[in-house]
Amino acid sequence: MPALLEVRGLWKTFGRGRGALPAVRGVDLDVERGETVGVVGESGCGKTTLARMVAGLTRATDGDIRFDGSDLDGSSASIENRRRIQMVFQHPAQSLNRRMSVGAMLAEPLRLLAGVPRSDTTDRIEEMLGLVGLDPAFRTRRPRQLSGGQQQRVAIARALMPDPDLVVLDEPTSSLDQSLRGRMIALLRRIQELRDVSYLFISHDLGTVRRIADRVAVMYLGRIVEIAGTRQLFEDPRHPYTKALLSVAPTMDLDRARTRIVLEGETPSPTDLPTGCSFQDRCPLVFDRCREESPVLTLVDDYREVECFAVAPSSGS
C-alpha cells in the first residue's frame, strides 16, 4: 500500500530571473497513516514552504504530491482532499478569525467541507472542545478572550473538526511559553491515538520534535539532508549539518558529555548557491568532490537516508 502522503521531486521557486529564490529544491518525503513526521531546520530552509505546498496553500513549481493515491495540485484540490488535509499555523492569534465565536469557527469547516447542516454541529463542537481540553462554555468566546495556549487549542480543534487524515502543523508550539509546550504535545499525541491521524510537524525546536515525531527530516537550504527514525537521528546523527545542529542545541542535561561543533558563518543566500553541495562553505568534512557535484539522499542504513559524499560516497546523482 502506498504511503498516505507521497512527495516526489518537489520544487518551489519564488520570483524569476536573476533574483529567483528556490525555497524548496527537490524534496522527496513520505508520511504513513497514523505517523508523525517532523521537519526541522533553521530560518529560510524551506520547511514552511514545504508545509504550505502539502496543505495546498502554495502551488509547487515542479514535482508531485500524491495523497492517498491521487495527485494533489494546490489550485485544484477537491473539496474532499481539502477536508482530509488540514493545517495549524504558528500564530493562533493571526490564524483565528477574531470576529467569530469559537463555536462558529468550529462549525464552519463542518458545513463547508463535510456538508453537515448547521443544526447538527452543536454536539460535535462540544465533543471536540472536550477533546482539546476546553470547557463547552468556550463556544461563545471570541479569540481575544482566550490565552495563547487556549487559542492554539481552538486552532487545533478547528483543524480536526472535518475529521482529517493528515494535519500539517507549522511551528504550533513556538508562540507558547515553554511550560505549555509539553501539554500541547501530550494533547496532540492523545488525539493521534484516538483518531489515527497523521501529522507533518514543522518546527525549529528540536526538543519538541524529539518528543512527538516518529521520523525526522532535517532540511538545509531547501533540501532534506538527512531523514531517519527519531531516536536514530537524535542519538546518532550522520550528516555533518545534523551533527552540528544537535551538538549546539542547548540542553538541561548537565551530565551530557559532548563536543560542540560550532559552524562558522551563516547559511548562504538561496539566490546565490555555490556549485555542488550547498553546505560546502560551512562543512567541516568538505573535500574537492563537494565543490563539483551535488549529493542526493542515499540510504546508509535501515530507514536512514543522508545526502553527503563524506558519509555516503555513493550519493552522487
Partner 1 sequence: MNLLEVDGLTVGVERSPTSILANVAFSVPEGRIVGLVGESGSGKTMAALTMMGLLPDGIEVRSGSVRIDGRQLMDPETMTVERRAGDMAMIFQHPQAALNPTMRVGRQIARVFSLQQGCGRDEAMSLAIEMLGRVGIPGAGRVARAYPHQLSGGMCQRVMIAMALACRPRILIADEPTTALDVTIQAQIFDLIRDLVEETGAGVLFITHDLAAVAEMCDTVTVLFGGQVMEEGSRDDIFRRPRNPYTTYLLDSVQKEVDPHVIEAGVDFELVGCRFGHRCRYAWEECGRVPDLVSVGAGHRSACFLHAMEENGAGAP
Residues found near partner 1 in the complex (CB under 8 A): 42-43, 133, 147, 149, 177-183, 186, 204, 206-207, 244-245, 248-254, 260, 262-263, 265-266
Q: How far is the CB of 38 from partner 1 (least distance, A)?
A: 15
Q: Which is nearer to partner 1, 16 or 260 (CB)?
A: 260
Nearer to partner 1, 4 or 212 (CB): 212
CB proximity list for 105: less than 8 A, separation 6 or greater: 96, 97, 154, 158
Q: How far apart are CA 156 and CA 164, in angstroms?
A: 11
Q: Tell me how far apart the alpha carbons of residues 11 and 271 are, in angstroms, rounded to a whole number.
A: 14
Cβ-based neighbour number of residue 35 at 10 Å:
19
Residue pair 214/182 in contact by the 8 Å Cβ criterion? no
Q: At what angle do helices 148-160 and 178-195 cross, to 10 degrees?
A: 20
Q: Which residue, 86 or 242, is less far from partner 1 as judged by CB?
A: 242
Rounded to a whole number of angstroms, the minimum distance from the CB of residue 206 to partner 1 is 7
Distance of alpha carbon 33 from alpha carbon 21, whole angstroms: 33
Q: Are strands 62-67 and 5-14 parallel, antiparallel or unpaired?
A: antiparallel
Question: Which H or E run includes 22?
Answer: strand 21-31
Residue 304 corresponds to which cell in the numbers above?
536512514
Q: Nearer to partner 1 by C-beta: 189 or 195?
A: 189
Shortest Å, Cβ 11 to partner 1: 24
Closest by Cα among 205, 128, 129 to 172 = 205
Separation of alpha carbons 265 and 103, rounded Å: 49
To the nearest whole angstrom, how small is the minimum distance from the Cβ of residue 18 to partner 1? 18
Which is closer to partner 1, CB of 86 or CB of 267?
267
C-beta of 114 vs 180, nearer to partner 1 = 180
Helix (H) or strand (E) holding 211: helix 206-212
Quick one: cell of 153? Answer: 487549542
Closest to partner 1 by CB, 117 vs 250, is 250
Give Cβ neighbours of residue 135 (< 8 Å, ≥ 6 apart): 129
Minimum CB separation of residue 284 from partner 1 in Å reads 13
Q: How far is the CB of 259 from partner 1 (least distance, A)?
A: 12
Q: How far is the CB of 99 from partner 1 (least distance, A)?
A: 25
CB nearer partner 1, residue 43 or residue 119: 43
Q: Nearest Cα to 295, choosing from 314, 274, 273?
A: 314
CB of 213 vs partner 1, minimal distance in Å = 17
